[in-house]
Chain A
């Protein structure tokens, strides 16, 4: 309610603006699925001995000693949800030089009854994603309000202030305010977290950070970011991290470096170096070395469970001849996990992936693609084949149709599943400021080898309505 009131209060101020631009996106989805439910049957109806036996359908059943019943999982009734999402983006400017106001607000609901399925956050009916005033001059920029900071550490929203100084190739930026949970955009003490975790963060947090950027030439840039999230009672930290990000296109090479350091565990949570180059305009290739270690904020105990990371090598090869409508891309990666120190019984400690795609872009509006990907790793594996075509006449009209076959293999579960999918999508621009986008898909799921999992056979659909009122200075009509 307080958020709605704040927005209402902002409206009269917007009316005095020299210009206002409001754009909206209404998204309605249809999601179907069959939940996985626990069921039981008499022990006499299962075959085998011991704790793990098999039902007549080949589904594993857990038979506790001395119990006359065994437990097994099966797909429940088909349930559906139709979440509706309404986004509004507002920009106002013109009170004085360089002063503008920006807001993104979101309303959520679910059409019809819940039918046993509530789409994530559909009960969180109103949210301010950001709402801030900005004063921008040639060398200085300041923002006050709810805003985003996007850095090598990720995207974080907070309620507070941000100041940026820039001159030529150098910029310095600092920010601070009440922290919002990354990916959730809610305070740490939000009920959205306590609803899914019975040990939610005990306090709100304060986010502080700074960043220095240097761009020695148009081909190179480097940035250093430091950020911490402090408990509101200042008894400790939720997070303290730093990142170094650099990118260069010098000497015909493409080089990107990203380093994330977690001060709490004194570990590099992410380190990635990618170097690429090309042979003329025909072939481009890149290699990547990556170290990844799961990072957890300190309101959870997971960081104390000593997660281990993996080292990964990756290569990508692209082929595209000038004048040829075809492009070909091949990729492969191999990763090796660090020793977890728990070698009681073995599990896969490596993984690999390989894939390729071929695309055809005709001289007209028609394009087509085919892809193949295989991904084998700890926990799960899949093989995925897709093909499709798209007819796209600028932004005014487009249609697409895709076919897909996916096979999933779950290491931690018995059996495999195969999903056949077919989908169509289209978009039409009704006017410069109004666009309609939609898609519809059918998926047929087959559980194989006695797999016990949810049946994903389903229909899916989405409809998106985009509109714009007014213009931003320099903004084209109807652009999101």
Chain B
């Protein structure tokens, strides 16, 4: 009878006790003929008497005395705290009078007496369906049977690591889609997760109400340390235009950005004023709770700094005591912020406001180039000074947008000896064209800006003015009236008196 009670006690022990017992299971089936009733050993289970929930070791010794049977060492499991189930045998027994122990604990209905184990969730679900088909089905309300993990102090690290994973977690879109479900049913997540489960990856763990609600747990923290963060690239991030379009979504749903990015990531590009209000809503490096995805601004080899490439890499922040990132999870994606040729032809985008330059650039970024002296952004190729002639002639980029062609170009051309002196034909610069005088008109009209980088106005006025040979430089479409109406004094530079009033 005593042995039977022992077996019964083991059968219907609370879950945490079973967890302990699992390490040294009692071979119930081998004792089947000894114990006709579960209560022979476990009479205390149904009346919540912990001292009678299991038989004493002396009961085993009645047979296992070294003579009848070999001696065994067995101790009743010690209760170390609450387990994951909110279930108690006392309440269950009171509400389900007449239901035998084996209804929950038999391995299968067809097996002989005493083929028992801890009750499986499926056994529970056979009565408590909750309208669900399976234990881990979507929208199962876990709290019906389970308490939160952080309060289930009896569970060991290994037991937590072995908790079953719902099928939903294996879906390919689970990482991207789990946020909404987590916010809606945080209690469900709390069954198996603690805050450290989330802050393994979530940069904004300290801000997210759903994450803060989970509470911290040292066991989960230990498990998370060994797993590393994972940052799969969201589908919309893979769009070639994401760099252009992400501003609107960042403004409307900043919290989404803050899931994976801390402020330094954004600041790798956004150093202007335009995005500061958004950046302020993203955790800074000190607040970040996870390694995060760090954008890195790199300059491609041989390209000017105006052509930015942001490499998305997951990097551990020094402030975060986080595990190293898993190698296969580290995403390296080149995001070309500006299209090819942007350095040459960014005027329309900048001027129209389409590029919202101020989001990423302080105004000095523009003036660094447009004042024409600093070499910070390497706009021109190396040794551009000795190769710039074709680009200047063809106005590939307008030199005047950054340089005063008079003060900058002419000054240099004069000092290097390229600029003409005051007298015609005193140099041989145009020596490839022996009949240069007859050709220079076309050359001048095609590339007058290039002429002005060497020649002063007075040089041409030696022929083309009332002071000189009075050779008209005006073309057939010259509108003297119009130009005079804008600046009458201009005419008097070359003409003794306004020719329109003759």
Q: Looking across the interface, which residue of chain B has its beta carbon closest to that of A360? A: B301
Q: Is B64 an interface residue (CB 8 A)?
A: no
Q: Are the CB atoms of B443 and A245 closer together than 8 Å?
A: no
Question: What is the size, in residues, of chain B's interface with A at 8 Å between Cβ atoms?
Answer: 133
Most buried by A among B339, B348, B350, B412: B348
**A473's closest neighbor in chain B, by CB?**
B276
Contact with A along B353-374 (1 / 0, CB 8 A): 1110000001111111011111
Closest to A391 in B: B301
Find residues 388-432 in chain B having any chain A CB closer than 8 Å to their own CB: 389-396, 398, 400-408, 410-412, 414-418, 425-432
State which of A2-10, A12-20, A235-243 sits at the interface with chain B. Answer: A235-243
Within 8 A of A (CB), among B107-143: none
Cβ–Cβ < 8 Å partners of A375 in chain B: 390-391, 394, 396
Interface residues on A, range: 35 or more
Determine the distance from Cα of A383 to Cα of B384 in the docked complex, in whole angstroms. Answer: 13
* A359-B383 Cα distance, complex, nearest whole Å: 20
Task: Determine how close the nearest CB of chain A comes to the CB of B80; give it in whole angstroms.
Answer: 48
Residue of A60, A247, A419 near B387 (CB, 8 A) is: A419
Could you tell me if A349 and B446 are in contact, using CB atoms closer than 8 angstroms?
yes
CB-based contact B264/A476 at 8 Å: yes
The CA of A351 and the CA of B447, in the complex, are separated in Å by: 12
A72 CB to nearest chain B CB (Å): 6
Give the distance in Å from the alpha carbon of A51 to the alpha carbon of B425 in the complex: 11
**Would you call A474 and B279 a contact (CB within 8 A)?**
yes
Find chain B residues with CB under 8 A from A300 CB: 452, 457
With a cutoff of 8 Å between Cβ atoms, the chain B residues found around residue A361 in the complex are 300, 309, 334
In the complex, the answer to whether A380 meets B389 with C-beta atoms within 8 Å is yes
For residue A404, which residues in chain B have a CB less than 8 angstroms away from its CB?
381-383
> B412: shortest Cβ distance to chain A, in Å?
6
CB contact list, A242-267 vs B, under 8 A: 243, 245-249, 254, 256-258, 263-266
- Contact A367:B301 (CB < 8 A) given known A38-B426, A306-B477, A402-B382: yes
Given A237-B487, A361-B300, CB of A304 within 8 Å of CB of B417: no
Stretch at the interface among B26-34, B175-183, B478-486: B478-486
Contact indicator A256/B345 (Cβ below 8 Å): yes
Minimum Cβ distance to chain B for residue A185 (Å): 6
Per-position binary interface string of chain B over residues 428-467, scored 1 when its CB falls under 8 Å from any chain A CB and 0 otherwise: 1111111110110111111111101000111011001000
How long is the Cα–Cα vector from A331 to B396 in the complex, in angstroms?
A: 13
Does B164 sit within 8 A of A, measured CB to CB?
no
Residues of B within 8 Å of A456, CB to CB, are 386
**With A151-B351, A331-B341 given, is the CB distance from A52 to B434 under 8 Å?**
yes
**Which of B349, B394, B476, B488 meets A353, CB within 8 Å?**
B394
Tell me which of A117, A295, A411 contacts B415 (CB under 8 A): A117
Residue ID in chain B nearest A407 by CB atoms = B387
**CB closest chain-A residue, reference B369:** A155
Take A196-B411, A218-B248, A306-B445 as given contacts and tell me if A245 and B351 are in contact as well, using a CB distance cutoff of 8 Å. Answer: yes
State whether the Cβ of A129 lies closer than 8 Å to any Cβ in chain B. yes
CB within 8 Å for A306 and B245 given contacts A182-B400, A406-B387, A474-B276: no
Q: Are A464 and B300 in contact (CB under 8 A)?
A: no
Select which of B354, B408, B486 is within 8 A of A264 by beta carbon.
B486
A160-180 vs B: 1/0 string, CB under 8 Å?
Answer: 000000000001000000000
- Which residue of chain B is the closest to A342 with respect to CB atoms? B441
**Cβ contact within 8 Å between A378 and B447:** yes
Rounded to whole Å, the gap between the CB of A385 and the closest CB of chain B is 11
* A129 CA to B367 CA, complexed, in Å: 9
Are A76 and B348 closer than 8 Å at their CB atoms?
A: no
Chain B contacts of A376 at CB under 8 A? Answer: 390
B66 within 8 A of A: no
Check if B431 sits within 8 Å of A414, measured CB to CB: yes
* Known A35-B416, A196-B410, A473-B276; contact A304-B383, beta-carbon cutoff 8 A: no
Q: A236-B486, A302-B457 are in contact. Are A308 and B382 (CB under 8 A)?
A: no
Which of B297, B348, B458 meets A256, CB within 8 Å? B348
Contact between B383 and A37, CB atoms less than 8 A apart: no
Q: B416, A89: Cβ atoms under 8 Å?
A: no
Contact A377 B408 (CB under 8 A): no
> Residue-by-residue, is A67-111 near B (CB-CB < 8 Å gives 1, otherwise 0)?
000011100100000000101010000000000001010100000
A397 within 8 Å of B by Cβ?
Answer: no
Residue of B nearest to A381 (CB): B390
> Could you give, for residues 356-398 of chain A, a 1 whenever the CB lies within 8 Å of some chain B CB and a 0 otherwise?
0101010100011101000111111110101011101011001
Question: Given A347-B442, A474-B280, does the pair A302, B429 have CB atoms closer than 8 Å?
Answer: no
Whether the pair B348, A196 counts as a contact (CB closer than 8 A) is no
> Are A412 and B429 CB-contacts (below 8 A) given A306-B445, A384-B387?
yes
A303 within 8 A of B: yes
B386 to chain A, nearest CB (A): 4
Contact between B493 and A301 (Cβ–Cβ < 8 Å)? yes
A60 touching B431, Cβ below 8 Å: yes
Known: A305-B473, A361-B334. A152 touches B348 (CB 8 A): yes
B448 adjacent to A454 (CB under 8 Å): no
B475 within 8 A of A: yes
Q: Smallest CB–CB gap between A188 and chain B, Å?
A: 11
Nearest-neighbor residue (CB-CB) of B341 within chain A: A316
Q: Is B170 an interface residue (CB 8 A)?
A: no
B156 sits at the interface (CB 8 A): no
- CB pair A155 B383 closer than 8 Å: no
Q: How far is the CA of A395 from the CA of B332 in the complex (A)?
A: 17
Q: Is the CB of B348 within 8 A of A258?
A: yes
Q: Knowing A266-B479, A300-B452, say if A199 contacts B493 (CB, 8 Å).
A: yes
Chain B, range 202-255, C-beta contacts under 8 Å to A: 238, 240-241, 244-245, 247-248
**Which partner residue on chain B sits nearest A118 by CB separation?**
B415
**Shortest distance from the beta carbon of B492 to any chain A beta carbon, whole Å:** 10
The proximity string for B residues 375-386 relative to A, scoring 1 for CB distances below 8 Å and 0 otherwise, is 110000111001
B296 to chain A: closest residue by CB? A394
A43 at the interface (CB under 8 A from B): no
**Pick the contact of B482 from A265, A274, A441 — CB < 8 Å?**
A265
Tell me, yes or no, whether B299 is within 8 Å of chain A by CB.
yes
| B337 at the A interface (CB under 8 A) | no
Q: Does A429 belong to the interface (CB within 8 Å)?
A: no
Give chain A residues whose Cβ lies under 8 Å from the Cβ of B392: 380
A184's contact among B404, B449, B460, by CB below 8 Å, is which? Answer: B404
Q: Does A113 contact B (CB under 8 A)?
A: no
Q: 19 A-B pairs, CB-CB below 8 angstroms?
A: A148-B367, A171-B353, A193-B404, A225-B351, A249-B244, A256-B348, A304-B490, A305-B473, A322-B238, A347-B433, A349-B442, A349-B446, A367-B298, A378-B394, A390-B300, A474-B273, A476-B264, A476-B268, A480-B364
Given contacts A196-B411, A406-B383, 9 further A-B contacts (CB under 8 A): A155-B402, A192-B407, A198-B458, A225-B351, A236-B489, A298-B483, A307-B449, A320-B336, A413-B432
What 5 A-B pairs come out closest when comparing CB atoms? A306-B475, A36-B417, A236-B487, A342-B441, A247-B354
Q: Residues of B with Cβ closer than 8 Å to A?
A: 238, 240-241, 244-245, 247-248, 264, 267-268, 271, 273, 276, 279-280, 296-303, 309, 332, 334, 336, 339-341, 345, 347-355, 362-368, 370-376, 381-383, 386-387, 389-396, 398, 400-408, 410-412, 414-418, 425-436, 438-439, 441-450, 452, 456-458, 460-461, 464, 473-480, 482-483, 486-490, 493-494
